[in-house]
Structure 1
Amino acid sequence: MSIVKNSYFRKSVAAIALTATVTGGIFALPPVISAYAEPVTVTAAAQPGFADLVEKVRPAVVSVRVKSQVQPVDNSGPQFFGQGFDQLPDGHPLKRFFRDFGFGPQGEKQRPDQRKGKRGEGRPGHARPVSQGSGFFISEDGYVVTNNHVVTSGDSFSVVLDDGKELDAKLIGTDPRTDLAVLKVDEPKTKFTYVALGDDNNVRVGDWVVAVGNPFGLGGTVTAGIVSARGRDIGASVYDDFIQIDAAVNKGNSGGPTFGLNGQVIGINTAIFSPSGGNVGIAFAIPASTAKQVVDQLIKSGSVERGWIGVQIQPVNKEIADSIGLSEAKGAIVAVPQPDGPAAKAGIQAGDVITAINGETVEDSRDLARKVGNIAPKEVAEFTIWRNQKAQTIKVTIGGMPDDQKSSDGAATQTPSEGETLDSYGLTVVPSENNDGVVITNVDPDSAAADRGIRSGDVIASVNNKPVKTVNDINNAIAEAVKSGRKAVLLQLQNNDQSRFVALPVDQG
């Protein structure tokens, strides 16, 4: 044994020996104490997530694939650059160029499989993919809701389930006005997981929502956000009433569902606002309450039948409301009731303001169109109108919307001529040829009338709902309005088959 000379070492060994215990002849050393601090940990309240919701609803969401038949190339029309190169001498550099880059004898670009003499996908008569989107089952027997714009260009359709299985589907019906469509998957002895269209009327701005869909073909993608706004009008149609959400929605999410936390569908994703083409946190969903009415009709009959009363309408602004004595700028003013239309037959006239239907307030012209459209044809509805400074009730038998509604926005052309002037409004007018109204022949560009869109060729048919034939009639109506304390007068203007109302302030002259 070597002799330990270091006194410090000898003392350390002795200290260990003194603190050790002997058990069965074996020394047991005391535990070694670590010199490192404990890692930082934070005890926080558990945050609720969306995993349970997603686990239940995701099997009901599908990817929609759309195919279309490829049309044969029409060689009778304009040809591609390179036509006639086959007539160039062999060895000509241009002939080699077009041949090497795959152009056929007539200049048409060939695919590699065509140059090899093979029959590949994309040949005339073969279906090729043209679009894809999202959808969801609303019944266990295979009805699928999606967007009209997803399926509109297709000849054949299929859906891809959450587990990757692809099934053929057939188109049941579409509704371009609300951008909705219904597909049907027929799979014997299969019961599909499905979800329900809920009541979006109880959804509030700030509520959590979860969107599931097929962005960029990825399938089964889940995003979450909140309801950002209600009642959005993006100019898609007169039925615009979108729910705005900030959950990430991209190309391919169209037709997919937006869920509330109870697992019911509150909206169908249909559009995004995107200057860049990608998600910027503004997406629009069709309310489930709108979709339910449309989907039920599509499943039942393959088409949608809407109520119709046959009127041209415009919103009521503050000036119009002031000119006719309405306390609020709400409702829709009837510009022209179509002859023999349901409204005209019931007694509704030009200048009437429709303020309520069946006791429900009409907010504006879009709201009127939606409310009428939701009433079944042949039903009798109670319309509240404002006429001659008082409310009246008229019962209207709702008609069915015609398949083809003619409209015209052309302006009549009038030859300027001398006439009487309404200096206060910057207008020059002459009596109409049929003695029905007064024709405007000139408008001062710096006048109040010009600011409100009045133009030469417009016919003033009435002022404050009183027919006019001369300038005196107009002046008398204005004087009566001033005497009554009105801030504006309401002009009914006609041009070709179009009619509209414009309010002009009476303090301009």
Structure 2
Amino acid sequence: MIETTTTRRYTGRALASVAAAALIAGGAVGGGYLPAATPALAQALPKSPIEAPEHPPGSFAGIVSKVKPGVVSVKVKLDDTASDDDDGPSNGGNGQNLQNVPPQLREFFKRFGENNQGNMQPQRRGSRGAVGSGFIISADGYVVTNNHVVDHAKTVQVTLDDGRTLDAKVIGKDAKTDVALLKIKEGGNFPYVQFGKSAPQVGDWVVAIGNPFGLGGTVTAGIVSARGRDIGAGPYDDFLQIDAPINKGNSGGPTFNVNGEVVGVNTAIASPSGGSVGLAFAIPAETVQAVVDQLRSDGKVARGYLGVQIQPVTQDIAEGLGLEKAKGALVDHTENGTPAAKAGLKSGDVIEKVNGEPIDSARELSRKIAGMKPGAKVDLSYLRGGKSDVATVTLGTLPTDGTKTASVEEDSSGQVRLGLGLAPAAQVGLSDQGVAVVQVDPDGPAAAKGIEQGDLILDVGGQSVSSPSDVVSQVRAAEKSGRKAVLMRVKSGKGQTRFVAISLDKKAG
């Protein structure tokens, strides 16, 4: 429902006050500053009308007219595997969760991709379509959007600003950063936009354009409210926070600076109502561009890999280690045979710099390493026993291709989920046998049984397993045989082996 505002009539002194306020606000919006005060002197009226500038001060019209043709609406038909989880991190979609978000805000964070029924509910199984936003980055028709907009897409269409609707295909997706790259199938010489050459600063003006609630070509404006936000949506969170009004359907749309350059991709909002309350989050252009370059050339993203488990350096840990400041990343565990182990890193080391650049936190270290290509040589400055040293590490490849969420999909009655992200143990350097647990949904049935990241699954249903697909197959076999639980033999990170029975109740997880 589109609400209309009631027009109020102002006369006399009240009207003059409103007009004065409007002039002040207009000057502030246009140039990013308030105009200098001028004396209120009476002046003679000009003899002839003065032509107004094409775009008066305080207007974003010039920016919008320049970039709006490069923004598209994205319409998706979903396949039958789409579920409630596909709409956002608040319910674990795409392997993401909000465990790091304060509990009072957790329920308010939502991905926003409007479904074809025009309501604000998450995309449901059997709800066959979704819409979002995107933007063209080349004349031959490459389009950037969010992964969660096109995840489980059966067909994709984009609608241009001139009204044309064209078929597109998914070139590649990256769930960890929630970025996807599309290609318009036919045609060329499309209008396109460019990424910004520098990161925006807090307080900079930004303009967002997208397709909220299916209302394509909608323009909103605001400022950058904060940088480096971690909302628990993924392992490499580094969001821009903006206060430009963003709603469901803006997902995948661009945020522009005042030069008409893309500085972010709108991805998430925090809202108790589901609508904009001035808390929106955009993926920085630097991150998007790095991911898109790999998707365009390879169709997938390969990330650098150290092979260490790390944790933040808290104030207590800093005091215990004799550090002046609580900065850096503490190595909790180095996995055998990994690049970090080969370079000599050990448990208890505090990594302080990467290639000479200071590291403030464990998350920053993860982002930096993941942003580098496998095979790159990296100098890691670290502290051990109060002494500084440098290790040169040749990065491996983060094991993502073999990682798969262990889940069982059913034809009509729902979905059974374990809530685990898995990878071959040998691939992550954890062991030469079994399947490694690389991610655990804290609300899933496996977590309820005490399975943790770093555990090894050795047997499922009495059968040895060596890949995520082996685990899925055995879970499916147990379910088809009518069992209410599947028995796993699990080896913990501490070396203890135990049997764990995980419920196959459809309501679980």
C-alpha separation between the residues in 1 aligned to 2:278 and 2:209? 15
Task: Give the 3 Å change call, closer, same or farther, for CA 496–215 of structure 1 in structure 2.
Answer: farther
* Rounded Cα–Cα distance in structure 2 between residues aligned with 1:397 and 1:282: 40
Q: Which amino acid aligns with 2:366?
A: A
**Structure 2 counterpart of 1:199:** 197
Larger radius of gyration, structure 1 or 2?
1
Residue of 262, 266, 281 corresponding to 1:284: 281
Question: Amino acid of the residue matched to residue 193 of structure 2?
Answer: V
- The answer (yes or no) to whether the contact 1:70–1:128 under 8 Å persists in 2 is no
Tell me: CA distance 1:155–1:411, structure 2 relative to 1, closer, same or farther (3 Å): closer
Question: Equivalent residues in 2 for 1:10-409 (5 A)?
Answer: 47-69=57-79, 129-188=128-187, 190-201=188-199, 203-403=200-400, 404=403, 405=423, 406-407=436-437
Distance in structure 2 (CA, Å) of the matches to 1:171 and 1:137: 14
Give the conservation status (yes or no) of the 8 Å contact 1:137–1:194.
yes
Change in Cα spacing, 1:394 to 1:276, as seen in structure 2 (3 Å) is same
Q: Structure 1 136/339 Cα, relative in aligned 2: closer, same or farther at 3 Å?
A: same
Deviation at 1:224, TM superposition (A): 0.3
Q: 1:436-494 CA distances to partner (integer Å, 9 max, x unpaired)? A: xxxxxxxxxxxxxxxxxxxxxxxxxxxxxxxxxxxxxxxxxxxxxxxxxxxxxxxxxx7
The Cα shift of 1:47 comes to 3.3
Specify the SS of the correspondent of 2:364.
helix
Contact in 2 for aligned 1:411/1:495 (Cα 8 Å): no
Identity %: 53
Contact 1:377 1:400 in 2 (8 A): yes
Amino acid at match of 1:220: G
Alpha-carbon shift at residue 128 of structure 1 (Å):
7.9
AA aligned opposite 1:306: R
Q: Counterparts of 1:69 and 1:279 in 2: how far apart (Å)?
A: 29
SS at match of 1:155: strand
**Unpaired segments of 5 or more residues in structure 2?**
1-11, 28-55, 82-125, 404-422, 424-435, 439-446, 452-492, 497-509
Q: Residue type of the partner of 1:194?
A: Y
**Distance in 1 (alpha carbons) for counterparts of 2:379 and 2:270:** 38
The whole-number CA distance in structure 2 between the counterparts of 1:327 and 1:496 is 35
**Secondary structure at 1:396 match in 2:** strand
State the alpha-carbon separation in 2 of the partners of residues 184 and 323 from structure 1.
53
Per-residue deviation, 1:369? 0.4
Please report the TM-score for the alignment, with normalisation by the length of structure 2.
0.61
Q: Distance in 2 between matches of 1:219 and 1:56?
A: 17
Shift of 1:68: 2.9
Q: With the length of structure 1 as denominator, give the TM-score of the two structures.
A: 0.61
In angstroms, what is the RMSD of aligned CA positions? 2.5
Q: CA deviation at 1:199?
A: 3.4
Shift of residue 238, structure 1, vs aligned partner? 1.4
Letter in 1 for 2:394: T
Deviation track 1:34-80 (CA, whole Å, cap 9, x = no partner) reads: xxx99968787663210000001000000000013569xxxxxxxxx
Residues of 2 paired with 1:335 and 1:69: CA distance?
A: 41
Preserved CA contact (<8 Å) 2:78 2:130: no
Residue type of the alignment partner of 2:67: V
Mark the runs of 5 or more structure 1 residues left unpaired by the alignment: 1-36, 72-126, 413-493, 498-509
Seen in structure 2, the aligned counterparts of structure 1 residues 200 and 253 have a Cα distance that, compared at 3 Å, is farther
> In 1, distance between residues paired with 2:78 and 2:326?
49
Compared CA separation, residues 55 and 318, structure 1 to 2 (3 A): same
